[in-house]
Chains A and B, each alone.
Chain A
Amino acid sequence: MDTNGATTSSAAGGGSTSTSDSSLLSKKNSKKPQYSRFTQQELPACKPILTPGLVITTFTIIGIIFIPIGLVSLSASEHVVEIVDRYDEGCVPPNYSNDKLAYIQSSRTNKSCTRTLSVPKLMKSPVFIYYELDNFYQNHRRYVKSRSDKQLRSKAYERETKNCDPQAVSLDAPIVPCGLIAWSLFNDTYGFFVKSKMLEVNKKNIAWDSDKEHKFGSDVYPKNFQTGGLIGGAKLNSTTPLSEQEDLIVWMRTAALPTFRKLYGRIEEDLQANEQITVVIQNHYNTYSFGGKKKLVLSTTSWIGGKNDFIGIAYITVGGLCLFLAVNFILLYVIKPRALGDPSYLSWNRSPAGNPN
């Protein structure tokens, strides 16, 4: 009987389907449920049980796999040679050291700054050049939203600037590329010299190919960019399409964390150990207003990426822990074994003298 309410109908639901079943399958008009392993919940199944053997094996295997991985990762990280130079403090002339903001905002001050780095070990080509910013929240909600991916991609969507405020339009014309992210494009530049010989910096192919090909349009040219009252960062060459503005593309891939590096370029020759590298920095980018640090990083790379011991240490720790657990379980198993599935352990079978549940 089908009536209102889900309650009865579900029971009837079973019923109605079954009637069609049975009319197909059997002539009898019986309501007897069709037997199948599925409906009787008897599908063939595997029932893993955590036996001591299985547990010990699992831990041992994890230990055996993890420790070598950890060691390999550590050594890979060790082989990465990295030079880090924080220059935001050092590049401010001493007479401005109390008012760095005035120094960086003034257009008349000399922004050039020379730093000397020494190469600790042989750095094999390619040597990657990064700039590292600290305390710069590229993941701030206001910031990450302030872009227009449609506009970046195609000329047709030039006016798609609705998320870009307060850098959406300039004098009623849309800014391309709009938004805070593009506006705050990093604009320090670096020149590298070894023994007065300039090292060539390859700034090609520092961005993802996918970005260059699909995300940033080759027909989109910068317009009205950095023309407003407040200049946030680098200017763009308005004759180069966005797909070739690789610095912008890199910058627009917003960093996940407040301390981040971005690829600046590559030096495609080996740097010998103990070589002195002179870096001429054009220090334009204003991190002084919020106390952000700026660093220049030269680094080789390995399969694990940059220099970071964490993965290696983590793997060794976890692997060691697993081996330790395996040993402990072996000991426990030897000292205090329990026969699996012994009905005499069932609570109602245990002798009262034993362990009452």
Chain B
Amino acid sequence: MDSKIPVENLFSIEPVLSSSSRRSISTHSKASSGNSIREVNFSDLGSKPVRYGSHGAESETYSMSQKEINDEDARLVQINDPVKTNERFEFAGNSIRTGKYSILTFLPRNLFEQFHRVAYIYFLVIAVLNQLPQLAVFGRGASIMPLAIVLLVTAVKDAYEDYRRHRSDTIENNRLASVLVNDHFQQKKWKNIQTINLDGESNLKTRYAKQETVLKITEKEKIAGLIKCEKPNRNIYGFQANMEIDGKRVSLGPSNIILRGCELKNTAWAVGVAVYAGRETKVMLNSSGAPSKRSRLETHMNSEIIFLSLFLIALCTVVSVCAAVWLRRHRDELDYLPFYRRKDFSEAEEENYNYYGWGLEIFFTFLMSVIVFQIMIPISLYISMELVRVGQAYFMIRDTQMYDESSDSRFQCRALNINEDLGQIKYVFSDKTGTLTENKMEFQCASIWGVDYSGGKATSQDQEDGYFVEVDGKVLRPKMKVKTDPELLQIAKNGKETKDGCHVHDFFLALAACNTIVPLILDTPDPIVKLIDYQGESPDEQALVYAAASYGFMLIERTSGHVVIDIQGVRQRFNVLGLHEFDSDRKRMSVILGFPDQSVKVFVKGADTSMFSVMDRSMNINVKRITEAHLYSYSSLGLRTLVVGMRELSTSEFDDWHSAFEAASTALMGRASLLRKVASNIENNLCILGASGIEDKLQQGVPEAIESLRTAGIKVWVLTGDKQETAISIGYSSKLLTSKMTQIIINSNSMESCRKSLEDAIIMSKKLTTISGNINNTGGTLGTVLTPVALIIDGTSLVYILDSELEERLFQLACNCSVVLCCRVAPLQKAGIVSLVKKRTVDMTLAIGDGANDVSMIQMADVGVGISGQEGRQAVMASDFAMGQFRFLVTLLLVHGHWNYQRMGYMILYNFYRNAVFVLVLFWYVLFTCFTLTTAITEWSSVLYSVIYTSVPTIVVGILDKDLNRRTLLKYPQLYGAGHRQECYNKRLFWITMIDTFWQSAVAFFIPLLAYWGGTIDASSIGDLWTLAVVILVNLHLAMDVIRWNWITHVAIWGSIIATFICVIIIDAIPTLVGYWAIFEIVKTGKFWLCLLAIIVAALIPRFVVKVLYQLYTPCDVQIAREAEKFRTLSESAAVEIEMNPILDPPRR
């Protein structure tokens, strides 16, 4: 919509096929997948008086003026008549707001959102408890501090995110667009233009204006009409509506609507009616965030947190029971006890001061101890984890090794909660097309009328530029060259002279015409030469059209009404009388062409099974058999096959079809099924012309990636919709299958046969297992090593297996197999298989795919990865992570997954330890204060402890530490097993850490206690000593475990210790606090420093010793690899040789 358009042009859409090739194409107008415009549905008729200010007024212009029967579910848009509209309904304005907050609402709304989290409620409850005078352990400021800091950090994060959203909204909402107001266009701030590929497909989709509307071009009167359409919904591939215009009813479908965010190609302008605007557009409805998942590590962590809560309750109980006993034993003394003084004598009558009876005092003591020991439950850990994950995501996104040049796409981290799950994946479920392969189809060979033409390798050098045509002195050439078979080329050139020639002619005509491809003419530096680029939704069709062009059947132009095909230099025009689009039930599409000689033919192309079922029985059975043989051989080469058929229609047949088609396509209800029925009526008795073989190339690095994954102990399952032969051959070329493997193939047609084959297969796989087990038993205990068994199962069998008791058997069998290949599976079956595995094992599953058919699987798996490739954006939208190439999976799992898992596992344990040590030190002291929750450590220090003193290093280490470098991890994929074995976080480690915590806290507390026992030390001084001792201890503990020290780590750890000193000094420099100047007094004494040193050394010795013994005498793989990294860099070549063998061996379980 960049050009101003004369007033009168209302409906027509200018066909622009680049100036050179423009031919007067009169009536039909075409708007291919639309640009810039909002959701436009024809005719952008006037925009009206602005009703709600600039905000979205344009879009509110259309709305319903009258009620329609049955139409609670419909939306009515009155074309060009907004004045009487909006009587009942207010449609959304067109300005979009993805931002959550405005400046005014930020504070209340953000607070509201934040308090939805349990963690924050915990802080809040503790803070509120502390405000009660009886429980006031901390002062006002100190008690609010943790909550305030947490809220502040989160609010800053949210505000930043929201700021970016607002920025993009502003850009979005201020674009210009022409709006037809009272029949003339005005430049307005258009609230709506964004170039997002909603479905991610870069290729074109054709959109048509209805012919009825085109007629309006010439008429100058105002157009009125009513569009009745669906309520706004999320389905980007569907749209149903009809329009009443001039008393006629016109049906509208997905190909008549332009979605927000589309880009207009091929035409300079389009006129339309906005039906959905602003947040009701499909792009906005689809842009909900990624599903929120919880990582495995976090789930485990939560159970430990429950334990910590119990421990907290236990501590509080101990304190309150002791307090109860103490109060009871001294109940007679309390009144006069100088340090208790229950009686208040200042008033006339003596009364108890601040004493509420024995029971209540105990209760208060309990609550107070909860407040004092609150950080036992490391709530701040959740916030730290969030920050760490953001940091990890930053590095994953920035990884140049996961950047895809070809699509210019980075790695995307859509889910932020499951980074560490990437380090524990055991099963990978992969789609084939577009995931393992590039989804860039290349025409390889054809079988036409029983003759196989697959000599494509033969030289086509005689015309090295490929086929071209000359028009008006300009040269048109397909953008992509296709290898041609010289023999076939020759036959094609010779035209319809021979019978073969006739078949070849029909075959290629079918390829060129029976599709939804749109040719685009591109300029080249050479003014004479133009390139034709074929754009379309299906890469297969693209390949076929390029192939047809190479053989001299060049598609030049396509509109909704006709196609122009240049056949061997002669331009011919065919009327497109009807088009039945591809659907997955029929598995074929057809087009009805009116020939220049008035004959009418239907061309059909589709999957072999579906085509052979509708072929003419009387046809030459020989041709059919040979074609089938060719198909078989093509698919065993890994080619995708399509069969092409044709039939000539008689006039009566055509008329019948035409009326049925018209009726079906204007139906509002059940249109799809009606159309399908019409289609299957015409698609029968076909004459099979031949078949094509299209190669789908493997993506770069796929075999290596699969090998790495398998060496890493990850089971790769491939789920594909392709034929079994194709799947197996792709399996071989991607090294998924090897010649060493025994294949078990299950193709069954009934429950019983399924059961039987499964049972046989289990026995067989067990036998293979035992044999190999025996071989291995000579060696020792590795009995579970298998001779690799590959299970190949098809979708039909899965129908009987999934959701029946056979699932269990299939799982057993699959467990014995190192490879599972499922072919001919439907999208839902993919999800079924994933859930089958997920239900029966605790291992993590990952699904990777690129198309809409993988969405269910991606959502079902623990981790969903989307490939942002050729097939649209749905997979990416459903995924947790998205990337450009399958091979990045190796980097993602083996490198980043490993790191993230190790970092997060360590971080959780460390945070448990860090908080518990501090709490225990407080607890020990409470035992020496009549159990009254006094803290020697100042309240500010206890608040700042988890905020300033110790928080930064753990976050930095959680983001930056690396146990091994990238090269080592990629060289020894087996190191990934650390995640499978849960080496970084498990119950045993947790308990060891807790015992260590106990020891360290005891040392930190009792060394000063004993050293100063009976001395003159005051509480503040010894409190400062404890503060510093614990902080240094905790930071050194971390320092001891840091594997890689870079300058940031140094700054964080030593900086924290220095910051702690500074904070303690500042706190002690405030004269109104009790501990004034204590730190300065105590650092003057030698005893202080001796205590500090003794605490640190004595506390860390046990951990150090255990760590050393463990590392030296039962080293884990990671440890050895780390040493190798450091010491063996010179003798690397030798190490590689040792390593080569095991990689080829079957993966060890």
The interface of chain A, by Cβ under 8 A from chain B, is 1-16, 18, 30-35, 39-50, 52, 55, 58, 62, 66, 69, 73, 130, 132, 136-144, 147, 149-150, 153, 165-170, 180, 183-184, 208, 210-211, 214-215, 228-230, 232-233, 253-263, 286, 289-290, 303-306, 308, 310-311, 314-315, 318, 321-322, 325, 329, 332, 336, 338, 340-349, 351-354, 356
Contacts and interface: CB of A to CB of B under 8 A. Distances in A.
Contact of B1098 (A144, A318, A343): A318
A254 B1016 CA distance: 10
Contacts of B1049: 45
Given A166-B353, A346-B974, A352-B782, A8 B290 contact: yes
Given A3-B288, A33-B403, A348-B1117, 7 more contacts: A1-B194, A13-B161, A58-B1104, A318-B1097, A341-B1124, A345-B1120, A349-B1138
B112 interface: no
A346 B1128 contact: no
Contacts of A33: 397-400, 403, 410
Contacts of A143: 338-340
Given A4-B100, A289-B337, A343-B1139, A351 B414 contact: no
B1023 interface: yes
Contacts of A308: 1011-1015
B1011 A255 contact: no
A40 B398 contact: yes
A259 B860 CA distance: 64
B372 to A, nearest CB: 10
B352 to A, nearest CB: 9
B1007 interface: yes
B839 interface: no
A311 B410 contact: no
A318 B1094 contact: yes
B1019 A256 contact: yes
Interface of B: 98, 100, 158, 161, 164-165, 168-169, 194, 196, 283-284, 287-290, 292, 330, 333, 336-341, 343-346, 350, 353-354, 390, 393-395, 397-400, 403, 405, 408-410, 412-416, 776, 779-782, 928-930, 932-934, 936, 960, 962, 965-966, 972, 974, 977, 1007, 1009-1023, 1043-1049, 1071-1074, 1076-1077, 1080-1081, 1085-1087, 1090-1091, 1094, 1097-1098, 1101, 1104-1105, 1107-1108, 1111-1113, 1115, 1117, 1120-1128, 1135, 1138-1139, 1142, 1148
Contacts of A137: 339, 929-930, 932
B1108 A306 contact: no
Nearest to B196: A1
29 contacts: A4-B98, A6-B161, A10-B393, A10-B416, A11-B414, A14-B398, A33-B397, A33-B403, A40-B398, A49-B1122, A62-B1097, A66-B1097, A166-B341, A168-B346, A170-B346, A184-B338, A256-B1018, A256-B1022, A257-B1013, A290-B337, A305-B1087, A308-B1011, A318-B1097, A322-B1097, A338-B1113, A341-B1120, A346-B1121, A348-B1148, A356-B782
B338 A180 contact: yes
Nearest to B136: A145
A274 to B, nearest CB: 26
Given A165-B354, A348-B974, A7 B398 contact: no
Contacts of B1135: 343
9 tightest A-B CB contacts, nearest first: A5-B289, A352-B779, A341-B1123, A3-B287, A210-B1077, A166-B344, A352-B780, A141-B932, A341-B1124
A141 B640 CA distance: 81
Nearest to A12: B164
A140 B334 CA distance: 12
Contact of B1016 (A10, A170, A261): A261
Given A7-B416, A50-B1107, A139 B1080 contact: no
Nearest to A30: B408
B779 A140 contact: no
Nearest to B195: A1
B780 A353 contact: yes
Contact of B1108 (A55, A149, A342): A55
Nearest to B1127: A341
A23 B1113 CA distance: 53
B1014 A140 contact: no
B1072 A149 contact: yes
Given A4-B100, A261-B1014, A32 B1115 contact: no
Contacts of B936: 139, 256
Contacts of A349: 1138-1139, 1142
Contacts of A140: 339-340, 929-930, 932, 934
A10 B168 CA distance: 14
B412 A11 contact: yes
Contacts of A253: 1018, 1020
A258 B398 contact: no
B1102 to A, nearest CB: 10
Contacts of B390: 10
A236 B403 CA distance: 79
A14 B338 contact: no
A256 B1014 CA distance: 10
Contacts of B158: 6
Contact of A257 (B289, B1012, B1094): B1012
Contacts of B399: 33, 39-40
A310 B1019 CA distance: 20
Contact of B1120 (A14, A343, A352): A343
Contact of B1044 (A7, A45, A149, A259): A45
B42 to A, nearest CB: 27
Given A50-B1107, A290-B330, A139 B1122 contact: no
A315 B1139 CA distance: 49
Given A6-B289, A228-B345, A31 B403 contact: yes
A211 B1011 contact: no
Contacts of B400: 32-33, 35, 39-40
A257 B1017 contact: yes
Nearest to A181: B339
A7 B290 contact: yes
A332 B350 CA distance: 73
A152 to B, nearest CB: 9
Contacts of B1112: 50, 52, 332, 338
A4 B169 CA distance: 11
Contacts of B409: 31
A142 B339 contact: yes
Contacts of B1107: 50
A165 B353 contact: yes
Contacts of B194: 1
A169 B345 CA distance: 10
A312 B1111 CA distance: 33
A141 B1072 contact: no
B413 A11 contact: yes
Contacts of B350: 229
Contact of B1074 (A35, A46, A144, A257): A144
A2 B1114 CA distance: 50
Contacts of B353: 165-166
Nearest to B1023: A256
Contacts of B1020: 253
Given A138-B339, A344-B1138, A321 B1101 contact: yes
B927 to A, nearest CB: 11
Given A1-B287, A137-B930, A165-B344, A256 B415 contact: no
A292 B940 CA distance: 33
Contact of A149 (B165, B397, B1073): B1073
Which of B284, B394, B1073 gathers most chain A CB within 10 Å? Answer: B394
B292 to A, nearest CB: 7
Contact of A150 (B933, B1043, B1072): B1072
Nearest to A232: B338
Given A140-B339, A346-B972, A14 B1125 contact: no
A48 B776 CA distance: 38
A47 B1042 CA distance: 9
